[in-house]
């Protein structure tokens, strides 16, 4: 072994690798559970493909819509890479915060994150309603296709405002029996009542449509190039 190889080998002992997470524990059954490891959540790739297919089928016929909804309910199935959703233009406001693992994000915000498929990246930042905001990004973080933001708060539609004159449509919706708002059209800011009753505002990340809804103490916001039906179907399936 040459001198250089020896120095490289010694480097091995000096490298500081990030701490290895307990991956084995995720396969080992807990008390009272079955021995089969937990299933991974469906990959966002599958979701993106479903949505791409859905976008195509929705333009075909009313009958195709029900087929699309059926596909979404089956999103855990394996779906091969055939095409992807187009990137959605951003609003230029992408202060996503620090990229962390999902477990770190959940520890930071203090609640279990909901998702609409396995995210490509998870971020946490300070500020916003509730003090900490978690953001799940689907697609390349620099050009997301779908962004799901989660924090403690409540919809306060009396303070919903739009930054562009006209062109923004706001429709009340219900998601699993709870209040929601579907906002389509121009870019907008949304104001919320945070967990302590203060009013705060939040910019949107993507230039697509937005669905806001409450799930218990949480306020969730889904942004992307989604129709109302698509957004609602994803929100109802979020877990």
Per CB under 8 A, residues contacting other proteins are 2, 4-5, 7-18, 20-29, 34-37, 40, 99-101, 104, 121-122, 141-142
* Nearer CB in complex with other proteins: 13/70: 13
CB of 204 to other proteins, least distance (A): 23
* Nearer CB in complex with other proteins: 109/181: 109
Q: Measuring CA to CA, how many Å separate 48 from each of 123, 181, 213, 226?
A: 20, 23, 21, 11
Q: How crowded is residue 201: how many other Cβ atoms within 10 Å of its Cβ?
A: 13
CB-side neighbour CA atoms (13 Å) of 28: 5
User: Which tokens in the block code for residue 62?
Assistant: 């009313």
CB of 23 to other proteins, least distance (A): 5
CB of 10 to other proteins, least distance (A): 6
Query: Which string of b and e fits 82-111 if b means at least 16 CB within 10 Å?
Result: eeebeebebbeebebbeebebeebbebbeb
CB of 96 to other proteins, least distance (A): 12
CB of 185 to other proteins, least distance (A): 31
* Nearer CB in complex with other proteins: 81/169: 81
The residue length of the chain stands at 239
CB of 115 to other proteins, least distance (A): 13
* Nearer CB in complex with other proteins: 12/239: 12
* Nearer CB in complex with other proteins: 47/219: 47
Q: Are 24 and 37 in contact (CB under 8 A)?
A: no
DSSP 8-state class, residue 25: G
- CA atoms of 93 and 97, how far apart (whole Å): 12
* Nearer CB in complex with other proteins: 36/166: 36
Which residues contact residue 194 at a Cβ distance below 8 angstroms, ignoring those fewer than 6 apart? 128, 129, 130, 131, 151, 152, 153, 200
């Amino acid at each position: 072994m040459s001198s250089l190889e020896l120095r490289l080998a010694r480097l091995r002992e000096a490298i500081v690798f990030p701490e290895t997470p307990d991956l084995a524990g995720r396969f080992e059954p807990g008390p009272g559970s079955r021995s089969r490891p937990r299933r991974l959540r469906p990959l966002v790739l599958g979701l993106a493909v479903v949505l791409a297919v859905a976008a195509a089928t929705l333009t075909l016929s009313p009958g195709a819509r029900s087929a699309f909804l059926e596909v979404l309910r089956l999103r855990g199935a394996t779906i091969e890479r055939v095409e992807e959703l187009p990137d959605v233009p951003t609003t230029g406001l992408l202060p996503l915060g620090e990229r962390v693992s999902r477990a770190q994000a959940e520890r930071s915000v203090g609640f279990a994150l909901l998702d609409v498929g396995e995210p490509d990246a998870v971020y946490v930042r300070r500020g916003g309603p509730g003090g900490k905001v978690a953001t799940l990004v689907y697609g390349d973080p620099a050009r997301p296709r779908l962004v799901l933001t989660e924090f403690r708060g409540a919809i306060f539609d009396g303070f919903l405002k739009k930054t562009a004159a006209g062109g923004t449509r706001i429709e009340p919706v219900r998601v699993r029996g709870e209040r929601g708002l579907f906002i389509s059209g121009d870019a907008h800011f949304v104001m919320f009542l945070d967990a302590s009753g203060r009013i705060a505002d939040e910019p949107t990340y993507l230039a697509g449509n937005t669905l806001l809804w409450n799930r218990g103490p949480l306020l969730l916001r889904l942004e992307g190039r989604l129709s109302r039906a698509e957004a609602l179907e994803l929100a109802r399936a979020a877990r």
